[in-house]
Amino acid sequence: MAVFSRYSRAATAATMQRQTATATATFSYLIRTFSSPFCSSSSNSLNSETDLNRGNKPDVLGTLKREPKGRNVQWVFLGCPGVGKGTYASRLSNLLGVPHIATGDLVRDELASAGPLPSKLKEIVNHGQLVSDELIIDLLSKRLEAGEAKGESGFILDGFPRTIRQAEILEGVTDIDLVINLKLREEALLAKCLGRRICSECGGNYNVACIDIKAEDGRPAMYMAPLPPPPQCASKLITRADDTEEVVKERLRIYHEMTRPVEDFYRSRGKLLEFNLPGGIPESWPKLLQALNLEDHEDKESAAA
């Protein structure tokens, strides 16, 4: 628990120290209840870009193909805002039978609740700033506690950790098996974020952007089709308040400044799998599964139907 001691000392106010100590103690207990008996060791090093290009698969993932639901994976998704972490994490969550926990969703749920906290959060989110470690840990602890009560096991984290301090906190309480770092060209990222739409009635996520980037300067072409809503949602689409060009660019700037060191943190521990998205879901999903040595039988059946 040395990590938590250092973390607590970093808080300048006595009140914040007490809140942090409570949140991290709860987080420590809860995340240990999710710990997988198959945690990877430092010997399972992934040189992801090289391995993917050569067609190699990390051995530590080999058993997932046989018994994915018994593995209780503890995975983390990294990537710029709008890259599609939630989309692919959710698909893998369904495939592997583990909960997908998106801290961005936790923040938005908190924003929709009553009380003094949402007003403070709204100002932070609408300016593209990062929510404090203390608050994120508190929200995540509550989510894990609720999941434990329902008998959940394992997790796929999306949006945490975003800073070295958060990564150190997580490292201090559990052993993350794999960190999947999704990458997408910045011009495509910006278009995706500005094209995002949400159904105000059902909460479904869609995208009206049609991204068609021509090949140039040795870079391959990229096409990402829109993700249109069904007819019943078409007239109810809204844009997130923070999906403006100014805010999106600020989020990307903050990500590059604060979160990229987290990539190095996990790369040095041999747990980082870097995956360059070649296009939309139809192109990227099968290749991501191949990189993870997984198969989606339902996807195959749908394609054959």
> Which amino acids are annotated catalytic?
85, 162, 196, 240, 251
> Which stretch of DSSP H or E encloses residue 178?
strand 178-183
> Can you tell me the distance from the alpha carbon of 201 to that of 203, in angstroms, rounded to the nearest whole number?
6
> Can you tell me the distance from the alpha carbon of 199 to that of 176, in angstroms, rounded to the nearest whole number?
34
> Which stretch of DSSP H or E encloses residue 254?
helix 245-254
- Asked whether the CA dihedral 21, 23, 26, 30 is positive or negative, the reply is negative
| Contact by Cβ (8 Å): 58, 44 | yes
CA atoms within 13 A on the CB side of 1: 11
> Can you tell me the distance from the alpha carbon of 120 to that of 68, in angstroms, rounded to the nearest whole number?
40
> Can you tell me the distance from the alpha carbon of 97 to that of 70, in angstroms, rounded to the nearest whole number?
9
DSSP percent split of the chain into helix, strand, coil, nearest 5: 50, 15, 35
Query: What does each C-alpha distance from 192 to 40, 184, 199, 227 come to in angstroms?
Result: 34, 10, 16, 10
| Contact by Cβ (8 Å): 30, 141 | yes
